[in-house]
Structure 1
Amino acid sequence: MTLSTQFATMLVMISMGVFFGASLDTYNRFLQRRKRKSWLVFLNDVLFMVIQGLLVFYTLFQVNKGDLRFYIFIAILCGFAAYQAMLKQWYLKSLEKMIKFCISVYRFLVKLINIFIYKPIYILITTLIAIIISIGKGLYTAAKWLLKCIVVLIKAALKPFQWMLTLLWKLIPKNIKKSVEKLYNKLAGKSLLLKNYYSNWKDKWKNK
């Protein structure tokens, strides 16, 4: 390994130490350990450390083909210590400002979508539903009125026939009327018997 490669490796590993410190603070800020279950925190910690290790090794591989030396770990620790001493407070403040900015942008976009997209669509849909309901009620009322008119017209059209039948019934001799009435009474009695028989049979079948 040449001297320039070693120097570049040192600088990159110091940068990775700084990056690790910033990543750790970011991770802790979003994890909120007190609100999480212990097993979930442990799992997240393991995944975080694995990802950080892979990033360090990948960066090291890009710089010096993955040649591990003792000073590499020293460089990472130096970078992490430098971050803790000089950059941590500034980074945390910047992180909070960035989070607040993102939240503000998100809320603004939500309000924008609510005002220009959601509410117009909601008003349009409710208006269409109200119009459809009104049209349906109007059609129902019109159909009901039309049906009444048709019934009245049919009754009016059948009225002359009713008068004619009444007149014919009056002209029929009394003995024929009596025969017709007897026949009607017999048929009515038989229909009543059939109805009772059917009801009794239905009750027996249900009891079975």
Structure 2
Amino acid sequence: MITMLLSGIGMGVVFDGYRVVSDELRISRLWIPIFDLLYWIAATLVVFQVLSASNEGEVRAYVFIGLLLGIGCYYWLFSKITMQLVHVLIRTVRAVIKFMIRAFDLLIIRPLLLLYRIGKLLFAFLRAFAIFLFKIVVQLVRPFWLLAAWMTKPIWKPLLRSWKRWVNPLITKWRIPERVTALRTGLNKLWQRWKNRKQEKKDD
């Protein structure tokens, strides 16, 4: 009898908690009958397990009386308190989750963004400095390069002429400029087709 009384109270606690959670989560009304059915199936199985453990599964009149008394006592004495406690628990869980998200943003996300921005600025500075140094080196080396080119002109100019004599017939034979132009035209046509299809999908 006491076991069934406690089972009835437990059923009331779980049902009120389920109602509060469904209201807080704003579950659609279409799902409520399904969840109610699942609750009663689970409650029946739990009560049967409790009855099997306490009374070897014998179903007597006092079993139903105990359940009804437990449910009635719960809704008379503890229902409002339970619902208030569940509301407080849900608000506490939400506050903890918001605090954790806020702490994660402040302690991890923002420092990483700051490091990324600092690294980006540093990289831009180093790149500009490297380009500046490269220009200076080019300006310093250019006179020596021109001098070396003038001094070695008797060597590389005949080689350049012979190279042109050997390469130009191959370029003419294989029609390399025409093939490059045809390839470029084909790629442009494919690009235009892809852009047109993308625009047609956007319009649809």
TM range (shorter): 0.5 to 0.7
- The aligned length equals 170
CA distance in 1, matches of 2:148, 2:11: 97
- Flag structure 1 segments of 5+ consecutive residues without an equivalent: 1-9, 166-183
CA distance in 2, matches of 1:52, 1:133: 66
| Identical columns (%) | 18
CA distance in 1, matches of 2:13, 2:56: 25
Matched with 1:27 is 18
Matched with 2:28 is 36
> CA shift at 1:71, angstroms?
1.5
Matched with 2:37 is 46
Whether contact under 8 Å (2:11, 2:71) holds in the other structure is yes
Query: What is the identity, as a one-letter code, of the residue corresponding to 2:28?
Result: R
Matched with 2:46 is 55
Taking structure 1 as reference, are residues 158 and 45 closer, same or farther at Cα in structure 2, changes over 3 Å only? same
Matched with 1:127 is 118
CA distance in 2, matches of 1:100, 1:199: 74
Query: What is the identity, as a one-letter code, of the residue corresponding to 1:27?
Result: Y
Residue 89, structure 1, aligned to residue 72, structure 2: no
Matched with 1:117 is 108
Could you say what secondary structure the match of 1:36 adopts?
Answer: coil
- Flag structure 2 segments of 5+ consecutive residues without an equivalent: 155-160, 184-204
Matched with 1:101 is 92
CA distance in 2, matches of 1:119, 1:57: 54
CA distance in 2, matches of 1:120, 1:200: 54
Residue 17, structure 1, aligned to residue 8, structure 2: yes
> CA shift at 1:17, angstroms?
0.9
Matched with 2:61 is 70
- What do residues 66-102 of structure 1 show as CA deviations (whole Å, max 9, x unaligned)? 2222221221111111111111112112221222222
Query: What is the identity, as a one-letter code, of the residue corresponding to 1:105?
Result: V
Whether contact under 8 Å (2:20, 2:86) holds in the other structure is no
Q: Which has the larger Rg? A: 1
